Structure 1
Amino acid sequence: MQNGFLTDLSARLFRDFGEPEAIWQIAVLIGMLAVAWWCARLLRKKLDARRQSRFEAVRFGAESLNKALFPLLGALFVSVAQVALAPVIHTALLRLALVPLCGIAVIYTMFYVARRVFSRGEAEHEANALLYLFEKLVTAIVWGAMVLTVMGIQDDFVHWMASVRFNFANAHMTLLSLASGLLWVCVTLIVAMWAGALLDDRLMRARSLDGNLKVVLARVGRALMILAAILVSLSIVGIDITVLGVFGGALGVGLGFGLQKIASNYVSGFIILLDRSLRLGDMISVSGSQGTVTQIRTRYTVVRGLDGIETLIPNEKLITDVVQNHSSFLTRGNAKIAVQVSYRCDVERAMQLLVDATQGVERVLQDPAPAALLANFGADGINLELSFWIEEAAKGTGGVKSHVNRAVWRLFSENGIEIPYAQREIRIIDGVVRTDADSVRNAENRNEGAAPVA
């Protein structure tokens, strides 16, 4: 460890603190940090203003980026000052200040990248667990690197890792090659997932593409990028990717036998997204479950019932079973209300009042216009029917029909339109109670020669 960074730096620091050069270094360091703090504050304001109109994935992790701005700019300005002052004075203090500035900047930058990568995870809890593990691992590695750098033994540590050798199958590896290989794999995967997040944001902002098509393109693009990253990282590490052909064949056999249901659900999910047979917000009924489609995943579809309970329906059932879609592409639905009026009422007036009852009711459309129909002549009165169209029928029609029924009741009461109730004539003959139904049956029995009802 002779002539190490720590020994050289310590000697320079003790020598500089005994000379006026230390005061100049402290003044320059404070000045550069002040300029970095001011510039970081301006950048935070501009970035926060731009994030207001962006998606949640862009805003996610903004705190880490804001924290990374000051050490990044501080390291940049201190590096420039150190290079500029090196020919004139000793800069041991500035060199020492660069270590924590660069380390902290790397930590918060990696935090921001990780939050952008895991912001659109399929499962929120799994994404948070991976994010927590990644942040702890990055923090430990960077702080370890800073300690080694300050102590001046980073070169000795690298030589020690290169000297540790072991065999993995037929490959001869060292601890340094294994660590560098894992590092390259992580870097390429993070870059691929970062690019996938950027592609996802671009697609979601595109207004000319259908919503389902956006989801398909985003997921396929991300999958292809991750696959390419894995192949590139394996090539960089030195693993022959042709050996993956055997693995691919085994995977195909597994999908054909053991994983056919899972594969079927994944293929069905892409079919649903591509043919646009279902859309987010559609009210559907399938296999006894009814509700609104809230998510369409690659393996299952989430349907939220009217009671708020979410049901996960495998995509294969949405392809093979009969699915009733209660949502119109025009977001309109037809509703009907049946009402009975007395034979003594003015039928034309009653039909006009039915149409008037729809006026002013929220979500009831006037084009097509509501129509009142005489359905049939009942035993107790005339059966009328009111037909009208409702806007955004997927939100439900019960409330609208209730408002219209209350308006019908009010208008009928104000205009003397009678709504009859069932009436039955009861006769007492020789102490026996007989109803109209009994009389009718006796008449039928007499016609057929059967005994009358007692």
Structure 2
Amino acid sequence: MQNHFLSELSARLFRDFGEPEVIWQVAVLLGLFVVAWWCARLLRKKLDARRQSRFEAVRFGAESLNKALFPLLGTVFVSIAQVVLAPFIHTSLLRLALVPLCGITVIYTMLYVARRVFSRGQTEHEANALLYLFEKLVTVVVWVAMVLTVMGIQDDVVHWMASVRFNFANAHMTLLSLASGVLWVCVTLIVAMWAGALLDDRLMRARSVDANLKVVLARVARALMILAAILASLSIVGIDITVLGVFGGALGVGLGFGLQKIASNYVSGFIILLDRSLRLGDMINVSGNQGTVTQIRTRYTVVRGLDGIETLIPNEKLITDVVQNHSSFLTRGNAKIAVQVSYRCDVERAMQLLVEATQGVERVLQDPAPAALLASFGADGINLELSFWIEEAAKGTGGVKSHVNRAVWRLFCEHGIEIPYAQRDIRIIDCAPRRGAESVLNTGNGGAGAAPVA
């Protein structure tokens, strides 16, 4: 190891401290920082204007990208100044300034990439947790690298890591090879997920492709990219990927026995997306759960009920069970209301009032026009039926039917249309020989349309 604590770069800086060259370097740095700040401000305005029409995944990492512009431009300008001024003066201060500028640029750039990657296919809580872990890890690694560079012992640390050896099964590894392997795996995975996010953005902007097909293509492409990234990183590290054949066989046996339900749900999810039997926004009813389809994932489908509670339904149930889809390309549905009137009422007038009750009710369509029908003759009265169409029936029909029922009741009361109700007679018979009389207790209230007592 080196015997000096600080690197040669730091030593030169202390040696040149107080010389006129240091003053010139300070002036150049200040000027370059002002220029970099001004250029970064202009770039932020242009990028913000272009992001207004882009997807949320692009805007999700805007803050990190904006923070990376200033150190990135500073790194470029300081590097150019160092090359230009090196033949004339010492540039130790410029070289030292490049270390934090490059480190901060790497941190914010990686955070921007991570935000773009984790914004797809994750809930807000999951994305924030992954971002927090990734941010801490990248920040620690980069700052440790900057400190080692300033101290000038980065080469010694690398040699020490290469000297630490250990065996893993039949493989001989060093601490350096393990760290580089983990680094390559992370880099290739992030690149694959980044490419998947870009492809996802382009697919979502394509208007000629069906929505379900967009989801299928995006997920298949992302899975293939991640698989290729893992295989490539293992090959770079030096691990023989043929040993994965044993793992693949064990995984196949596990899928055949313990994981068959999970595999069935995944396959069912792709079937639902490909045959387009369900779409986002459909109002469905399956196994007593009714609500709107908000997400179709590869393992489950999220259905949000009318009460706001979301239910996760395994995709296998959507394939094997009976599913009622209340949504229609016409976005309307038919509703019926049954009502009974007295035999003494004017039936034609009652039917006219039923049709009139639908006038002015929100979401009730007048084309096709509402129709009142005489359904049957009941024991207590005449059974009428009102049929009408409701716009956007997927939002629910209960509230509309309630408004129509209230209008029917109000109109019937205004025009004297009686709605009968059943009457019951209780007959009490005295079985004593000396009485032999029977009495009848009428429990009805004299409602219209009641049959006379025999």
Question: Is this a same-fold pair by TM over 0.5?
Answer: yes
User: Equivalent residue of 1:73, what SS?
Assistant: helix
How far does the alpha carbon of each residue in 1:409-442 deviate from its partner, in whole angstroms, 9 at most, with x for none? 344444x2413333749799965116699x9999
**Residue identity matched to 1:168:** F
Contact 1:5 1:150 in 2 (8 A): no
How far does the alpha carbon of each residue in 1:324-374 deviate from its partner, in whole angstroms, 9 at most, with x for none? 223233221100112233444443333233223222222112222211212
Tell whether 2:281 aligns with 1:281. yes
How far does the alpha carbon of each residue in 1:152-180 deviate from its partner, in whole angstroms, 9 at most, with x for none? 11122222222222332332222222222
**Residue identity matched to 2:382:** I
* Equivalent in the alignment of 1:432: 439
CA 47–4 in structure 1, closer or farther in 2 if over 3 Å, else same: farther
**Residue identity matched to 1:39:** C
User: Equivalent residue of 2:285, what SS?
Assistant: strand
Tell whether 2:311 aligns with 1:301. no
Contact 1:341 1:417 in 2 (8 A): no
Deviation at 1:34, TM superposition (A): 0.7
**Residue identity matched to 1:9:** L
User: Equivalent residue of 1:313, what SS?
Assistant: strand
Contact 1:4 1:153 in 2 (8 A): no
**Residue identity matched to 1:321:** D
* Equivalent in the alignment of 1:421: 420
**Residue identity matched to 2:173:** M
* Equivalent in the alignment of 2:49: 49
In 2, the alpha carbon distance for the partners of 1:441 and 1:349 equals 26
CA 109–18 in structure 1, closer or farther in 2 if over 3 Å, else same: same
* Equivalent in the alignment of 2:140: 140
In 1, the alpha carbon distance for the partners of 2:451 and 2:389 equals 42
Deviation at 1:318, TM superposition (A): 1.7
Tell whether 2:86 aligns with 1:86. yes
* Equivalent in the alignment of 2:388: 388
Deviation at 1:121, TM superposition (A): 4.0
In 1, the alpha carbon distance for the partners of 2:74 and 2:173 equals 39
* Equivalent in the alignment of 1:194: 194
Deviation at 1:95, TM superposition (A): 0.9
**Residue identity matched to 1:404:** V
User: Equivalent residue of 1:388, what SS?
Assistant: strand
Deviation at 1:193, TM superposition (A): 0.7
**Residue identity matched to 1:97:** A
Contact 2:350 2:417 in 1 (8 A): no
Contact 2:265 2:299 in 1 (8 A): yes
How far does the alpha carbon of each residue in 1:37-66 deviate from its partner, in whole angstroms, 9 at most, with x for none? 111122222222332332222222222112
User: Equivalent residue of 2:421, what SS?
Assistant: coil
User: Equivalent residue of 2:313, what SS?
Assistant: strand
CA 167–432 in structure 1, closer or farther in 2 if over 3 Å, else same: same
Aligned residues: 441
In 2, the alpha carbon distance for the partners of 1:423 and 1:13 equals 104
Contact 2:339 2:384 in 1 (8 A): yes
Deviation above 6 Å: which 4+ runs of structure 1?
Answer: 1-5, 425-429, 439-443
Contact 2:36 2:77 in 1 (8 A): yes
Contact 2:380 2:451 in 1 (8 A): no
**1:74-223 pair list within 5 angstroms:** 74-122=74-122, 124-223=124-223
Larger deviation: 360-369 or 219-228?
360-369
CA 258–10 in structure 1, closer or farther in 2 if over 3 Å, else same: closer
Deviation at 1:199, TM superposition (A): 1.5
Contact 1:121 1:127 in 2 (8 A): no
In 1, the alpha carbon distance for the partners of 2:441 and 2:379 equals 19
**Residue identity matched to 1:433:** V
Normalising to structure 1: TM-score of the pair? Answer: 0.89
Runs (5+) with no aligned partner, structure 2: 429-436, 445-449
* Equivalent in the alignment of 2:341: 341
* Equivalent in the alignment of 1:261: 261
CA 18–441 in structure 1, closer or farther in 2 if over 3 Å, else same: closer
Deviation at 1:189, TM superposition (A): 0.4
Deviation at 1:287, TM superposition (A): 2.5
Tell whether 2:271 aligns with 1:271. yes
User: Equivalent residue of 2:334, what SS?
Assistant: strand
Deviation at 1:11, TM superposition (A): 4.2
* Equivalent in the alignment of 1:243: 243
Contact 1:5 1:149 in 2 (8 A): no
**Residue identity matched to 2:246:** V
In 1, the alpha carbon distance for the partners of 2:167 and 2:48 equals 51
**Residue identity matched to 1:248:** G
Larger deviation: 189-198 or 57-66?
57-66
Deviation at 1:14, TM superposition (A): 3.6
In 2, the alpha carbon distance for the partners of 1:436 and 1:259 equals 65
In 2, the alpha carbon distance for the partners of 1:300 and 1:359 equals 43
* Equivalent in the alignment of 1:447: none
